[in-house]
Copies of this chain bind each other. A is one copy, B any other.
């Protein structure tokens, strides 16, 4: 967990590749053997994250065709590392020539240079959200481990300042609009709002909610590998994320003790159930058996048409405005990414749970 490009412990993946290099990829290690797996299990999730599918995401055309190079034999996982490979396409590095010596506000240009003394400026190089395609691929394998009983779903619950009405929540709506929005009415409003943002050359932030149902009680390792700690890290490492919440989240601060702590009662089947889920399915870092609920905020895309003040590599004042293709709201495509990270964290803790019993 030191060199930085790996995630997870028992279910562990390592990603590589730059936005405008020949390819990107991910090596998934620790996947149990004998799981049926083919490219067809992964591709649908790639397609969901793929850009260019509506006017609300970048127009870069990426096939994002996944190839399995190892770890699968006769249609089943062998327990060996699974190498997944995605060729890059439709790169326009020239679009970035103008900013190769400028630090774009809100981007990692300055910090990568400060850290490494060198920066692959083509399409933001390693700092590009293109890396998240690898997370989505890993997440598809994680879902295989979780099986059909555990369902991981995400939705956009806020775009710019506009929240959904949670009373309207309908999972079926999520696939019926270009925003992964579970509230049909909100989606309609967002369309107008985001059109305006897009046409003005500006951008908007968003909040994504990811929900895992069917998670058994007992997953998570106190004290420092708590399930919520791992989820917080997982989500915060997604590009442009600035906040992570579990259950009631930041709002928990404003509740009274009576309101917040979820009461329990007999469930009529010999077990117990919770009367509410402020905890977001996690207590003491361990899953309760309720839905695991994580939420994260994505800042507005930093690449905008409006000219912005900045400096160049010699620290001289200059201006920058982005002309490359970009998402007016990068948060939209973060939905499948957030789902993938949730699936990976759960798969890891599911395997760890198995190891914790004799």
Contacts and interface: CB of A to CB of B under 8 A. Distances in A.
A136 B219 CA distance: 27
A236 B29 CA distance: 21
Interface in A217-234: 217-226, 228-234
A73 B125 contact: yes
A234 B223 CA distance: 10
Interface stretch (A31-39, A47-55, A165-173): A31-39
Number of chain copies forming the complex: 4
A96 interface: no
B308 A263 contact: yes
A213 interface: no
B317 A266 contact: yes
Contact of A242 (B119, B280, B284, B311): B280
A310 interface: yes
Nearest to A79: B116
A302 B278 CA distance: 12
A61 B83 CA distance: 24
A306 B257 contact: yes
Interface string A302-315: 11101011110001
Interface string A146-159: 01000000000011
Interface string A54-96: 0000000000000001110110111111110000000000000
Contact of A243 (B145, B203, B244, B357): B244
Interface string A3-19: 11111011110111110
Contacts of A257: 106, 202-204, 300-304, 306
Nearest to A224: B7
Q: From A71, A159, A355, name the one whose CB has the most chain B CB atoms within 10 angstroms.
A: A355
A218 B309 CA distance: 22
Interface in A243-274: 243-267, 270-272
